[in-house]
Each structure stands twice: as structure tokens, then as C-alpha cells.
């Protein structure tokens, strides 16, 4: 119980600190507005050219609300891999390891604390724009249904970003790995285009990968909530969280055994 309170306190402190500069928080969140406007123009033309009101079981309204939540999930994430990489390269990891808390759980708590208000502000601004452009979501209750999946997506993102950050034990610069991951998430995660618009064979493959559980699953659950989809999304997330969590633990233990502090 004391351990839980410890990380809860770290989360709360980071959450409060994220409000220290409200202007920066709001300014960064405003970036979602031009994204949503561009998506609206793009998909309005696409649906008009198709001559149909529905593509891949999604209407234009569904598609834009899907993209709003997808962008909210993506833009709300802190640069965790870069932070952990810097901890390794500048030697501050040794300082953190001497503290009475687990290195990974510490970073998870701080990452969640940084994410909450970022995501809320992105959802507010992005949702306001999409509501103005196409109206309210067809299933407003879908937001509550999708919340557990959004949290699961953040956990998955943490696992992958932490592993990329730990690559600094081996590689001097991990930015290339971050770039590669981002492109996979954009394409196979369904951030730019819903996976429903892909060819059937590619949909099958993409929906089984962890990238879809990080973006597509929560966003699709939001616009078309159902019990079967909820079970499917959450089950796949649990599987990938278990697999990636184990891989992260192994990578962390291996990195610690060969820790060489480069600075400090």
C-alpha cells in the first residue's frame, strides 16, 4: 500500500506541476485545431468523391471524431523515450536508481501526470472544432466506454517508449528508433487513416499489432461503442501490455547490469 501511495504522490506532484505554465499548456493544445481543420477538408472531399456517405462502416462524422480522439491520444504523450535516453546518457539514471523507488514506475507515474491535462486540453479544443464542423458524436457515451482503452493505450506507449529510451545503453542516439516507431504508429496504428479504410488483408495484420491497440482500438471504440468491441479491444491490450511489459523488464534488467555512466 505504501508503494502505491508513493507512486500516486509522484503522479499528483507531476500533475500539479503540469499546470505551472497554463499558457504553454493551452498553446501546445491549440495545435490540434489546424490538424482537425485539415482532416475535415481532406475527408470531406474523399467522401464526396466516393459518392457514398459511408466508407468502411464509418460516416464522415464518425471519421472526424475518430481522428479527434486519435490525435488526442498521440499529442497528449510526453517525450518519454528522449527523457529516459537523456537519463542514461548524462548519468542521472545513477542518481535516480539510488532513490527509494523503481526507475520504471517513477517514469510511468511522471508520464501519466504529464499526459492527463495535455490530453484533456487536446480533447476540449479538438472536440469543439469537430462539433462545430460536423456536429455532436453519434454516440457520446462512447467516450466513457473508451476511457479504459485510452489508459491501456498510454500503458502500451509507455512500454515501447521506455524500451526505446533504454536503447541508449547501446546506442548514443535513439532518435532514429523514435522516428521509425512513430511512422509505424501513424500508418499501422490508424492515426492518419482509420484501419477500416485499408484493404482487408492489411486490416487483419494491422489490427493484431500493438500499434492498433494504442490508437485505432480506443478511437474506434469511441465512435462505435459495443460490448463485443470493448472486450476485443481490452483483451488485445492486456495481451500486448503483458508481452511488452515483460520485454521492458528484461531490457531494463539487462541494461542495469551493464550500466556505464557517461557523465556525472
Segment 64-77 mean pLDDT:
90
The helix or strand, by DSSP H or E, that contains position 214, with its residue range, turns out to be: helix 210-214
CA dihedral 84, 88, 90, 91 (to 10 degrees): 120
pLDDT of 264 > 70? The answer is no
Give pLDDT, residue 126.
93
**Sign for the pseudo-dihedral over CA of 157, 161, 164, 169:** negative
Tell me the C-alpha distance between 64 and 44, whole Å: 10
Q: What is the pLDDT of residue 2?
A: 63
Q: Please report the pLDDT score of residue 263 as a whole number.
A: 44
Return the H-helix or E-strand segment holding 44. Answer: helix 32-50
pTM here is: 0.89
Question: How high is the pLDDT of residue 246?
Answer: 95
pLDDT for residue 1: 58
| Mean pLDDT in residue range 211-218 | 93
Supply the pLDDT for residue 170.
Answer: 76
With a cut of 60, say whether residue 34 has pLDDT above it.
yes
Predicted confidence (pLDDT) at residue 232 exceeds the cutoff of 90: yes
Beta-ladder partners of 55 = 58
SS3 55: strand
Beta bridge partners of 58: 55
Percent of the chain with pLDDT over 90: 40
**With 80 as the cut, is the pLDDT of residue 260 above it?**
no
Residue 66's contacts (CB-CB under 8 Å, 6 or more residues apart) are 58, 194, 219, 220, 222, 223
CA-closest candidate to residue 177, choices 251, 68, 73, 257: 251
User: What per-residue confidence (pLDDT) applies to 15?
Assistant: 84
Q: If you search the block for the grid coordinates 500499434, which residue do you land on?
A: 211
Calculate what percentage of the chain has a pLDDT beyond 70.
95
More confidently predicted of 237 and 12: 237
What average pLDDT does range 107-130 have in this prediction? 90
Identify the band that residue 258 occupies on the pLDDT scale cut at 50, 70 and 90. Answer: low
Average pLDDT over residues 180-197: 89
Mean per-residue pLDDT, 107-114? 88
pLDDT band at 14 (very low <50, low <70, confident <90, very high): confident
Considering only 43-47, 114-118, 201-205, 208-212, which range has the smallest mean pLDDT? 114-118
Mean residue pLDDT of the chain comes to: 86
CA atoms of 256 and 222, how far apart (whole Å): 40
Of 34-38, 68-72, 74-78, 177-181, the one with minimum mean pLDDT is 74-78
Per the model's pLDDT, the better-predicted residue between 167 and 122 turns out to be 122
Amino acid at each position: 500500500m505504501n508503494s502505491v501511495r508513493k507512486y500516486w504522490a509522484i503522479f499528483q506532484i507531476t500533475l500539479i506541476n503540469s499546470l505551472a505554465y497554463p499558457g504553454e499548456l493551452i498553446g501546445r493544445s491549440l495545435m490540434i485545431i489546424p490538424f482537425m481543420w485539415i482532416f475535415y477538408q481532406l475527408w470531406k472531399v474523399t467522401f464526396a468523391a466516393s459518392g457514398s456517405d459511408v466508407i468502411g462502416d464509418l460516416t464522415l462524422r464518425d471519421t472526424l471524431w475518430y481522428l479527434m480522439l486519435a490525435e488526442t491520444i498521440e499529442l497528449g504523450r510526453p517525450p518519454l523515450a528522449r527523457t529516459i535516453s537523456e537519463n542514461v546518457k548524462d548519468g542521472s539514471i545513477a542518481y535516480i536508481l539510488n532513490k527509494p523507488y523503481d526507475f520504471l514506475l517513477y517514469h510511468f507515474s511522471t508520464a501519466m501526470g504529464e499526459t492527463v491535462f495535455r490530453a484533456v486540453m487536446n480533447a476540449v479544443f479538438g472536440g469543439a472544432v469537430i462539433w462545430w464542423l460536423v456536429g455532436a458524436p453519434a454516440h457520446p457515451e462512447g467516450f466513457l466506454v473508451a476511457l479504459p482503452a485510452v489508459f491501456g493505450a498510454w500503458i502500451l506507449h509507455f512500454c515501447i517508449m521506455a524500451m526505446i529510451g533504454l536503447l541508449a545503453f547501446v546506442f548514443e542516439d535513439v532518435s532514429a528508433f523514435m522516428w521509425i516507431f512513430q511512422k509505424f504508429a501513424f500508418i499501422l496504428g490508424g492515426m492518419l487513416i482509420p484501419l477500416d479504410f485499408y484493404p482487408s488483408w492489411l486490416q487483419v495484420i494491422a489490427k493484431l499489432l500493438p500499434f492498433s491497440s494504442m490508437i485505432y482500438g480506443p478511437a474506434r471504440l469511441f465512435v462505435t461503442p459495443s460490448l463485443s468491441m470493448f472486450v476485443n479491444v481490452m483483451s488485445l491490450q492486456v495481451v500486448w501490455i503483458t508481452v511488452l511489459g515483460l520485454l521492458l523488464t528484461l531490457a531494463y534488467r539487462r541494461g542495469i547490469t551493464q550500466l556505464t555512466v557517461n557523465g556525472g
